[in-house]
Structure 1
Amino acid sequence: MNQRIGYARVSTEDQHLDLQRDALQKAGCGIIYEEAASGKSATRPELEQCRKALRSGDTLVVWRLDRLGRSLPDLVQIVADLERSGISFESLTEKIETRSAAGKLVFHVFAALAEFERSLIRERTHAGLAAARARGRSGGRKPKLGEKQVREIKALLRDPEIQVADVARRYGVSRTTLYKHVGVVAPRHS
């Protein structure tokens, strides 16, 4: 038996699910999974339970697209996973559903736009890094230790009486950072 299963989410505990719940019930959802979780949160246990309950032929219904995915690429991935399992998807507010050919087309246009957006971001990032390199700047975090400090540390560590942990503490870095900046030093007990 094909079911219409709803998923409702609010971002904070003080928001209410009533509007979503009413819309999902009106749309024929007999079961509704509900949770209060930030859209940015990767852990949404009720969504996971909902996805486990869905079977081929069922339809996952949400009030609005942003209730399901953390981002457009995330939403596209979730719907693609559902589609591979033979599960339809429907968003009530945007009037998007993937049961019909037209509905699938609309959703795949969304997917193409999401991929296009990712490509543009990637291109802009690479162009920005190339421009920075051309001006002599490199990306990434600044090294924790300067050249002068590395020379001082190397000199200190030549003395077998000085412990690596003491030097690390003195310079406010970890032993791993020392090994990375100073090169391979035989670990000494500290």
Structure 2
Amino acid sequence: MQTILYARVSTTDQTIAHQEKQARDAGFTLDRVISDDGVSGVTTRLVDRPEGRRLFDILRSGDVLVVRWVDRLGRNYADVTETIREFMRRGVVIKTIINRMTFDGATTDPMQQAVRDALIAFMAASAQAQAEATKAAQAAGIEHAKANEGNAYRGRKPSFTRAQMGTVRDMLAQGAGVSAIAQATGLSRQAAYRIKDDPAEAEAALMKWGM
């Protein structure tokens, strides 16, 4: 039996090392780290990613698969739910760093199965909804920036980075409160609220400053 961390990053603002540190800080003892760098979770299924494919080849009954959150497996509802079910059928236990969720296919109790499956569906749907909301905010931010392209005034430099903004969005999708988000990201509550209340404006501010 082995414990494997699967990490995925899609932009240069994210790092594999950060996800590994999060896992170890959360108390996981990792035997292996498998990662896909620069791969979209929206357009590319786990099984179609170079290293994601390896998970299907090496995971065995009794193994533990650790992910930061289910969105690392993907941001497509159908892909994520089927992937988790496939791993559970094999006897693999899936654990998330955020929210400390555990998905185990060993239970035979129908009520426990129903609750587990409903939770998987909710988290997978949240991952897809967050991806779609982020895409919409980015599009709105681009339009906002274009509309003010001739205006030399850029306003105050954002107090957050693109990576921090991504973390705020992810944690909001997972139901985290602003205080918890501020503590996790090192941002002020005001900055977290700004991203939460107007993601398009936050995106536009980063673009104006080339961030």
Give TM class, smaller chain.
Answer: 0.5 to 0.7
Segments of structure 1 that go 5 or more residues without pairing to the other structure are: 118-190
Letter in 1 for 2:8: R
Contact 2:64 2:95 in 1 (8 A): yes
Cα distance, 1:110–1:18 mapped onto 2, change above 3 Å: same
Letter in 1 for 2:94: F
Q: CA–CA distance in 1 between the matches of 2:67 and 2:74? A: 10
Aligned to 2:20, the other structure's residue is in SS state helix
- TM-aligned CA deviation for residue 40 of structure 1: 1.7
In the alignment of these two chains, the number of paired residues is: 116
Contact 2:80 2:124 in 1 (8 A): no
Match of 1:70 in 2: 75
Cα distance, 1:63–1:55 mapped onto 2, change above 3 Å: same
Contact 1:62 1:92 in 2 (8 A): yes
Match of 2:23 in 1: 24
Match of 2:40 in 1: 38
Aligned to 1:60, the other structure's residue is in SS state strand
Segments of structure 2 that go 5 or more residues without pairing to the other structure are: 127-211
Contact 1:96 1:107 in 2 (8 A): no
Q: CA–CA distance in 2 between the matches of 1:71 and 1:32? A: 23
Aligned to 1:27, the other structure's residue is in SS state coil
Cα distance, 1:32–1:10 mapped onto 2, change above 3 Å: same
Instruction: Calculate the TM-score normalised by the size of structure 2.
Output: 0.48
Q: CA–CA distance in 2 between the matches of 1:107 and 1:28? A: 25
1:91 aligns with 2:100: no
- TM-aligned CA deviation for residue 93 of structure 1: 0.3
Cα distance, 1:64–1:111 mapped onto 2, change above 3 Å: closer
Q: Which has the higher helix share?
A: 2
Contact 1:73 1:114 in 2 (8 A): no
Q: CA–CA distance in 1 between the matches of 2:31 and 2:61? A: 17
1:110 aligns with 2:119: yes
- TM-aligned CA deviation for residue 88 of structure 1: 1.0
- TM-aligned CA deviation for residue 28 of structure 1: 1.3
Contact 1:56 1:85 in 2 (8 A): yes
Cα distance, 1:110–1:74 mapped onto 2, change above 3 Å: farther
Aligned to 1:45, the other structure's residue is in SS state coil
Letter in 2 for 1:107: R
Instruction: Calculate the TM-score normalised by the size of structure 1.
Output: 0.52
- TM-aligned CA deviation for residue 24 of structure 1: 2.5
Which gives a bigger RCO, structure 1 or 2 (Cα 8 Å, sep 6+)? 2
Q: CA–CA distance in 1 between the matches of 2:112 and 2:31? A: 23
Q: CA–CA distance in 2 between the matches of 1:75 and 1:115? A: 6
Q: CA–CA distance in 1 between the matches of 2:18 and 2:70? A: 15
- TM-aligned CA deviation for residue 109 of structure 1: 1.2
